[in-house]
Amino acid sequence: MNRPLISEYNEYYHRYIINVKGDVLESMQNNLEQYVKLLSSPGLDLDHRYGPDKWTVRECIIHLCDTDRIFAYRALRIGRGDDTALAGFEQDSYIEYNDFEHLTAQDLIAMIKTTINGTISLFRHMKKEDTEKMGTASNSPVSVRALAYMTAGHAIHHLNLFEEKYGLTI
């Protein structure tokens, strides 16, 4: 799948797309392996947050899965020719109004494996012309391939935050 043109997505997402080096599906697979490695770390504190108003490790993983699912849903609809404008989502509400404390590292590993593998499968089985289709999401034009790169780049963004802000080794 070719890298999207800047005209295929809102400029806000450029910070994610530039994180993807090489093949986007290989990047997603590598992200999955990195997240499993992180969540398998002995002594990992899932409740650690690097600041008072920042998300915990657990909440970040939930956020990653939620965002992956939403981007994949958008890609599915646009790729299948649905031209309905798709609404945005408020990421903070997805975390703030839910309780995830009962989820263990093993639960999160299972969740992230299911989510990322499903996303990889969706994009892997799309025809090239479907990945180039354009739609509207969050009041901005977006292509299916931009959504693939946004998904992979968003996961990399959070891996980088885990190292830089949370002090975790991946």
- Report pLDDT for 170: 85
* C-alpha distance from residue 89 to each of 66, 146, 159, 162, 164 (Å): 10, 18, 22, 23, 26
At 85 the pLDDT is 97
Q: Which amino acid is located at 58 in the chain? A: R
Identify the CATH number of the domain defined by range 6-164: 1.20.120.450
In this prediction, residue 94 carries a pLDDT of: 85
pLDDT of residue 13: 98
| Cβ atoms of 38 and 162 closer than 8 Å | yes
Position 3: which residue type? R
Per-10-residue mean pLDDT of the chain, 170 residues long, equals 97 98 98 98 96 96 98 98 95 89 97 98 98 98 98 98 95
Write the CA distances from 79 to 6, 33, 118, 161, integer angstroms. Answer: 19, 27, 15, 31
pLDDT at position 75: 98
Cα gap 13→49, rounded to integer Å: 24
What's phi and psi for 84, nearest 5 deg? -70, 130
Q: What pLDDT is stored for residue 46 in this prediction?
A: 98
